Each structure stands twice: as structure tokens, then as C-alpha cells.
């Protein structure tokens, strides 16, 4: 039987050690990629929440200026975001009254407004519902007044 002496043995890594090292390296790479992906998703969600808050604040001002009695739905761009809203009358339109109870020149109605905000890629950023009072002047009442 021939014995191998220590000088004739190969030095370095064996194939098995190299494979184990590559498996460990690839597993740690996958873990780092997963962590990065989760972090970026969290940042995207935070960005969406901030953008939705800004757009919803602007929409509150918008609904104070729109006449819901004549316009009940619309799609438009606001600060780079697509806003799709629809208003539905919840209570029948009634004649307005002043503080003493006398009929005034306005007709009022309570509307529920459903709002959907999307980004330019049609990815939903947020949605909410609000109630807005819509009003318009009654022309017949104004003409009848002396």
C-alpha cells in the first residue's frame, strides 16, 4: 500500500467547501435583496400616504367650490394624481331656511361623495367617502322677490 505523504497532498479548498461557501453567499444575497425589497415597499407606502393626504386636503377645498347640484361626477388630474369622484344625493333636495325658519332663496341637498385617487400608472393610492352639502339659488324665488 502506498502512503501519501503530506507534501504530495493538494493544498486549498475542496469542491465541497467551495459549494458550501457559494450556498452561504447566495443565501445571504437573497436575504439582503428581500430586506431591501421590504424596505422599498414600506417607503412607497409612506410616500403614497403623504401624497394622499395632500390630495385629500386639496379635494376638501375643491368640493367647497364645486356645484354638486349640477355636477355629480368627474375625473381629473390633481398634482400629478388621477382623481375620480362621484356624488350621490342622500336626502331629497329641500328649500333652504334662514335662522328664523323663513324660506330663503336656496335649495340644498346632502350628497355622499366617493373619491378614488390613483397615480399616473393607475395604481390606487387611496379612497375615501365624505358628505357635502350642495346648494343652488332658486331663480323663481329671486324673481318673485320685490
Q: What is the pLDDT of residues 84-93, one digit of tens each?
A: 999 999 988 8
> Are the C-beta atoms of 82 and 75 separated by less than 8 Å?
yes
Closest of 131, 64, 136 to residue 95, by C-alpha:
136
Rounded to an integer, what distance in angstroms lies between the CA atom of residue 21 and that of residue 100?
86
Share of the chain above pLDDT 70, in %: 88
- Res. 111 pLDDT band, cuts 50 70 90: very high
> Which own/partner contact pairs does 140-143 have at CB distance under 8 Å and 24+ positions apart?
141/103, 141/104, 141/105, 142/105
Is the model's pLDDT at 8 over the cut of 60? Answer: no
Provide the whole-model pTM. 0.67
> Are the C-beta atoms of 127 and 114 separated by less than 8 Å?
yes
Is the model's pLDDT at 146 over the cut of 80? Answer: no
Gyration radius of the chain's alpha carbons: 33
Rounded to an integer, what distance in angstroms lies between the CA atom of residue 48 and that of residue 118?
10
Beta bridge partners of 110: 133
For 107, half-sphere exposure in the C-beta direction (CA atoms, 13 angstrom radius) is 16
Amino acid at each position: 500500500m502506498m502512503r501519501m505523504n503530506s507534501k504530495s497532498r493538494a493544498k486549498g479548498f475542496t469542491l465541497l467547501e467551495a459549494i458550501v461557501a457559494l450556498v452561504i453567499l447566495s443565501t445571504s444575497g437573497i436575504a439582503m435583496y428581500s430586506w431591501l425589497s421590504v424596505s422599498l415597499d414600506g417607503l412607497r407606502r409612506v410616500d403614497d400616504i403623504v401624497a394622499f393626504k395632500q390630495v385629500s386636503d386639496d379635494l376638501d377645498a375643491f368640493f367647497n367650490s364645486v356645484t354638486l347640484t349640477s355636477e355629480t361626477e368627474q375625473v381629473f388630474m390633481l398634482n400629478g394624481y388621477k382623481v375620480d369622484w362621484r356624488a350621490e344625493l342622500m336626502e331629497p333636495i329641500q328649500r333652504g331656511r334662514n335662522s328664523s325658519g323663513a324660506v330663503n332663496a336656496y335649495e340644498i341637498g346632502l350628497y355622499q361623495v366617493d373619491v378614488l385617487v390613483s397615480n399616473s400608472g393607475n395604481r390606487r393610492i387611496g379612497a375615501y367617502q365624505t358628505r357635502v352639502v350642495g346648494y343652488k339659488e332658486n331663480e323663481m324665488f329671486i324673481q318673485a322677490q320685490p
